[in-house]
Amino acid sequence: MSPGRRPTPHRLRRDRREVAVAVASAAVVILVTALLLWLLAPGGDDPAPSTPPISLPTPGADVPIPDTATPDPATPDPATPDPGTGETSTTVAGG
């Protein structure tokens, strides 16, 4: 046989003033958050962008392209034989 239900104490209802203060506090927090988001939002009323535009070169424009075909005379070609041993070097220049 199962034990009988134990009597539970009756929970008192909350005071109306306490509930009103909690609801008002929550409403104030939501309103202040919305106000700060509106005031601090980027863009605002200014139609000009906040960052300057980036200009990219377009094909056919007079943009100098660096010549990568001519090697730098200070950097040795890794495929040339080493004068001391006669073997080709496999190390990368500068490393």
pLDDT digits 0-9 by tens, 44-92: 566 665 666 777 767 666 656 666 666 666 666 666 666 666 666 555 5
Report if residue 34 sits inside a domain.
yes
How many domains in the chain? 1
Give the whole-angstrom CA distance, residue 29 versus residue 48.
32
Structure token digits, residue 78 = 């890794």
3-state secondary structure 77-91: CCCCECCCCCCECCC
Closest CA to 78 of 66, 70, 87: 87
Report if residue 85 sits inside a domain.
no
Report if residue 60 sits inside a domain.
no
Instruction: Identify the band that residue 8 occupies on the pLDDT scale cut at 50, 70 and 90.
Output: confident
Report if residue 49 sits inside a domain.
no
Is the pLDDT at 3 greater than 60? The verdict is yes
Greater pLDDT, 36 or 80: 36
Q: Which domain holds residue 19?
A: 15-42
Report if residue 27 sits inside a domain.
yes
